[in-house]
Amino acid sequence: MVVTRPMRSSGTRGLLRHPLTLYVIFTILILLKLMLLHHNLHAYNITMGLLDKVIAIGSILLLSFWVWWLPRRGMIAALAILHLLLTALIYADMVYYRYFQDFLTVPVLLQARQVDSLGDSIATLIYARDVWFFADLLLVIPFAVIMLFSKRGRSSQNSGMYTSSYNGGYRDNSSATYASSASRKKRLHRRLLAGSITLVLGLSLGAGPIYYSGKTWAKGLFDNQWWNVSMYNVTGLLAFHGYDIYSYVKNNLGSGSEADPADVEQVQAFFADRQKSNESQHSQALFGKYKESNVIIVQGEAFMNFMIGQSIGGQEITPHFNELMKESQYYSHFYHQTGQGRTSDADFGANISLYPLSAGSAFVRYADHTYDSLPSILKDQGYSTNAFHAYESSFWNRYTMYQNMKYDKFYSKNDFVEDDPLGWSLSDVSFFRQSVEKMSSEVQEPFYSFLITLSSHHPYSLPKDKQQLDVGEFQGTMFGNYLQSVHYVDAALGGMVEDLKNRGLWEKTIFMFYGDHDNSINDKPLYEKFFGRQLNDLDMAQIMNEVPLLVHLPDGAEAGTFEQPAGQLDITPSVLHLLGISDESYYHMGNNIYDGSERMVVLRNGSFTDGKVFYIPSDDYIYTSGTCYDLSTHEATDINACKAGFDQATKRLHVSDTLITYDLIRQFREESH
């Protein structure tokens, strides 16, 4: 018997067909895409050094080690599919970050309909230069197809197998079968060994450094208190997504439904202390002064504070708001406290007075949990409670959440006549007019009405016939379009106030208007051009996080500008104070802006201010990497001046997350009965 081997490819072709070569090329291409993503983040104090690249390589190996255990063609197909999936994930993260300054998470993906509904907003976040992100696919896809379906690709599946020839006219079948079986076992052992080595390398290069960091300089990394971008700084993108999946499965599908007893004790202690501090509030002059007044709260889409009182080209940007300020309370340092849930987070903070989650939206993730919401409290006091939003009722899971919050009725898109279409749905002019009409004719007093506007939503594409502001040098830019949209909403607000006055509701209503979040335009040169001066990091932090709060009391009392800091979580406790409803027994974390006490405002990303200092965390989430600003000088000061506040801010966020995640309000109430 003569035993021979088939011819193998040689030279460059042979090298390109070698599994190790294919795997190395795959790893390099994905690493380059991760580096390109990082380059596009422009994250503060975050670099992608050698160790970060090592972690990235380790993560790629951990994601793909199993492809070695497949036959050669299966390995090629698996690498091609993995390449496409990871390319899509990395690019989706890049686009998502451009709008939210955050990364995709499992909760966000479960809210995918929210992303779909962004429509035109997403289109503006895709840049022409992004084509380079996909350039390699022009080679990868054809190469994979050729390797999988060419005759040589199919025959290479048999490479290394023995064949037999005739020996004196007889074929030695038993010898050939034995040789073939031995060859298959040998190849299988090689594949298993290669995959196992890759797995060990991945654990060493990827998981090892992350574990070490979590035990040293990044302590608490996996305690659900780190901002996603800060966690990314330690883990890299792929490991971040891996932990996110693990965390979601553990909290929602596994055995992680019980809170740590120490965390539960911390929550109980926090609210016990808060109850003691609230006991003296009843003596305040405004407590109960407006008992049984109607309450109307308007949440303005992307309505920011920086343009209040400003003019462009000799024209006021918000003339109606400016006029209303003369007979109202205006809070000039009022902060949005939103996270990934954006508009739903603002709603959650204002009406429930707990911090939004670090990942995803509480409206979607925990809509069935127990909360002490403003509408439920007022409903118990005999109020008619109603929400108004001229969009799909299922968006941000509002229909389900609003039922839990005990609104009597949610007036959504189908409840409005679309007589003036604009942007996402109905113009704010028509929305306000129809909403006030419903309050006047369909709603029983006293009532609580919560309204959410839409006309100033990203990407701020206002039709020409509705543009009434000359934005000068900003004409044709998104920033200019934003100013146009805000000017339009301001006019709609003015019309709503006049309508309320004409219907006799203004004088017996507590009226509040606040912005929900920033406009996602964070280009410092634009704001420097707008203000005509240079801005530092504190200026930008305040511009991007401050939204206006305007409060008009039925008799126009207490009018003026208030500079002490406040935030969205403060709305519910403050409304209850004006109505004479004790806040002591409710699980709220906001401040009462009328009790005269000093207060701290904590943002979801760990920033905080007490009116004296303002702390801006670094994206790496290391306390000493952040910056502490003295608000009296507007300059950076000793970092230790913010340490006590930082510890308190971290504690508050953790208490709120624990309370929400483990549905502790329900648990505490059941235990008390």
pTM over 0.85: no
Domain limit, last residue, from 539, 561, 588: 588
Same domain flag for 326 and 229: no
Q: Return the pLDDT at 4.
A: 44
Same domain flag for 145 and 204: yes
The stretch 625-635 carries a mean pLDDT of: 96
Verify cis geometry, omega within 30 degrees of 0, for the bond prior to 459.
yes
The stretch 375-393 carries a mean pLDDT of: 96
Q: Which residue type, as a one-letter code, is found at position 13?
A: R
Bigger pLDDT: 328 vs 395:
328
Q: What HEC string does 122-175 produce?
A: HHCCCCHHHHHHHCCHHHHHHHHHHHHHCHHHHHHHHCCCCEECCECCECCHHH
| Domain assignment present for 645 | no
Same domain flag for 460 and 313: yes
| Domain assignment present for 671 | no
Same domain flag for 45 and 132: yes
1 pLDDT tier (thresholds 50, 70, 90) = very low
- Rounded CA-CA distance 240/96 in Å is 15
The stretch 221-240 carries a mean pLDDT of: 79
Residue 452: what are its φ and ψ, rounded to 5°?
-120, 120
231 pLDDT tier (thresholds 50, 70, 90) = confident
| Domains contained in the chain, number | 2
Q: How confident is the model over 458-495, as pLDDT tens digits?
A: 889 899 999 999 999 999 999 999 999 999 999 999 99
Burial class (CB in 10 A: 0-12, 13-18, 19+), 129: exposed
Same domain flag for 135 and 209: yes
Q: Return the pLDDT at 2.
A: 42
Domain limit, last residue, from 588, 621, 645: 588
User: Of 166-170, 385-389, 661-665, which gets the smallest average pLDDT?
Assistant: 166-170
pLDDT over 80 at 531, yes or no: yes
Q: Return the pLDDT at 179.
A: 62
pLDDT over 90 at 423, yes or no: no
Q: What contacts 559, CB < 8 A, 6 or more positions away?
A: 326, 327, 328, 329
pLDDT over 80 at 516, yes or no: yes
Q: Return the pLDDT at 5.
A: 46
Residue 552 and residue 597 in contact, taking contact as beta carbons nearer than 8 Å: no
Bigger pLDDT: 151 vs 380:
380
Q: In which residue are the tokens 């009018």 written?
A: 559
| Domain assignment present for 593 | no
| Domain assignment present for 161 | yes
Same domain flag for 175 and 315: no
Q: Return the pLDDT at 101.
A: 72
526 pLDDT tier (thresholds 50, 70, 90) = very high
Domain limit, last residue, from 588, 621, 654: 588
The stretch 229-238 carries a mean pLDDT of: 87
Same domain flag for 21 and 94: yes
Same domain flag for 479 and 418: yes
Q: Return the pLDDT at 109.
A: 78
- Rounded CA-CA distance 599/590 in Å is 9
- Rounded CA-CA distance 279/267 in Å is 19
Q: Return the pLDDT at 61.
A: 97
Q: Return the pLDDT at 7.
A: 44
pLDDT over 90 at 278, yes or no: no
Residue 450 and residue 575 in contact, taking contact as beta carbons nearer than 8 Å: no
Q: What contacts 315, CB < 8 A, 6 or more positions away?
A: 469, 470
Element spanning 211, H or E: helix 208-215
Same domain flag for 488 and 555: yes
| Domain assignment present for 133 | yes
DSSP 625: G
12 pLDDT tier (thresholds 50, 70, 90) = low
The stretch 596-623 carries a mean pLDDT of: 92
pLDDT over 50 at 163, yes or no: no
Which tokens sit at 171?
């074929």
Q: Where are the alpha helices (DSSP H) in 357-508?
A: 362-365, 374-380, 398-404, 428-441, 478-502
Residue range(s) defining the domain that contains residue 215: 3-252
pLDDT over 70 at 375, yes or no: yes
Bigger pLDDT: 128 vs 61:
61
597 pLDDT tier (thresholds 50, 70, 90) = confident
The stretch 576-592 carries a mean pLDDT of: 95
Q: What CATH number has the domain bearing residue 575?
A: 3.40.720.10
279 pLDDT tier (thresholds 50, 70, 90) = low
Q: Return the pLDDT at 256.
A: 52
- Going by DSSP bridges, is the β-strand pair 635-637/627-630 parallel, antiparallel, or unpaired? antiparallel
| Domain assignment present for 443 | yes
What percentage of the chain reaches a pLDDT higher than 90?
66
| Domain assignment present for 109 | yes
Q: Return the pLDDT at 537.
A: 95
- Rounded CA-CA distance 420/434 in Å is 11
486 beta partners: none
Q: Return the pLDDT at 178.
A: 60
Q: Return the pLDDT at 436.
A: 98
Same domain flag for 99 and 226: yes
Same domain flag for 222 and 298: no
Q: What HEC string does 90-134 produce?
A: HHHHHHHHHHHCCCCCHHHHHCHHHHHCCCHHHHCCCCHHHHHHH
User: Of 6-10, 250-254, 427-431, 650-654, which gets the smallest average pLDDT?
Assistant: 6-10
Which segments of 495-591 are extended strands (E)?
A: 509-515, 549-552, 560-562, 566-567
The stretch 17-44 carries a mean pLDDT of: 89
Q: Which residue type, as a one-letter code, is found at position 525?
A: P
Angle (CA) 557-452-370 rounded to 5° is: 95
Q: Return the pLDDT at 165.
A: 42
Same domain flag for 432 and 346: yes
pLDDT over 70 at 426, yes or no: yes
Q: Return the pLDDT at 615.
A: 98
| Domain assignment present for 263 | no
pLDDT over 90 at 393, yes or no: no
